[in-house]
Amino acid sequence: MLVPMPRPPRGFTLFEVMVVLLLIGIMTSFALLSVGGGPKERLAEEGQRLAALVELQQQEAILRSELRGIRFSRTGYTILSLSQQGQWQQLAATITLIQRELPEDIVLRLWIDGRPAELSSHEQQPQVVLLASGESTEFVAVLGFANDQKPEASLYRVAGDDLGRLTQGAVER
């Protein structure tokens, strides 16, 4: 009597399925990391960068007992210092810590003491002054996308009060 040969197993083992799922998960995470954040995340990143820079300059003004200023334009901002001659000038520091050009698709709007501010790139006077006492000019800077003017457009707000306290966050509508 002939004994039938055992059939080779069909299907996949649990281990093989888990290895394939692990590889798919790793490839998906690399794909998501390479794409980067969405529009809201890009605005939040720029807003957080601005808030961190303002906070750093406030601390520097206090530590060095000097006036610092921020000159805003629609496409970026520059940190200024008041010289001994009474002239506002750029600081002699690493360019990334004193000047920021926003990405082309992001624009900045500014309000000083509750009124819209002029954002001329030719002016050398700062719109926001950071005092050695920790106080500052009251301001609201709003970052948004240049080509998105819809009412539900993503916006990010960085605000400073006259006591130098900063707030930041996405604008909820």
Is residue 5 domain-resident?
no
Nearest-angstrom CA–CA distance, 58 and 77:
15
Q: Is residue 28 part of a domain?
A: no
Q: Which pLDDT band, with edges at 50, 70 and 90, does 135 fall under?
A: very high
Beta-carbon contacts of residue 151 (< 8 Å; ≥ 6 apart): 173
Tally of domains within the chain:
1
Q: pLDDT grade, residue 99 (50/70/90)?
A: confident
pTM for this model (two decimals): 0.73
Give a yes or no: residue 155 inside a domain. yes
114-132 mean pLDDT: 85
* Per-residue model confidence (pLDDT) at position 37: 65
Whether residue 135 lies inside any domain: the answer is yes
Q: Is residue 115 part of a domain?
A: yes
Q: Is the dihedral of CA 166, 171, 172, 173 positive or negative?
A: positive
The domain in which residue 143 lies consists of 39-170
What mean pLDDT is predicted for residues 50-75? 90
Band of residue 138 on the pLDDT scale cut at 50, 70, 90: very high
**Position with higher pLDDT, 12 vs 134:** 134
Domain of 96, CATH number, reads 3.55.40.10
Contact 134, 62 (CB under 8 A): yes
**Could you tell me if residue 142 is inside a domain?**
yes
Query: What average pLDDT does this structure show over 104-117?
Result: 91
DSSP string, 42-86: HHHHHHHHHHHHHHHHHHHHHHHT--EEEEEETTEEEEEEE-TTS
Residue owning tokens 């600081």: 91
Residue 104 pLDDT > 80: yes
Residue 9 lies in a domain: no
More confident residue, 135 or 37: 135
> Is 110 part of a structural domain of the chain?
yes
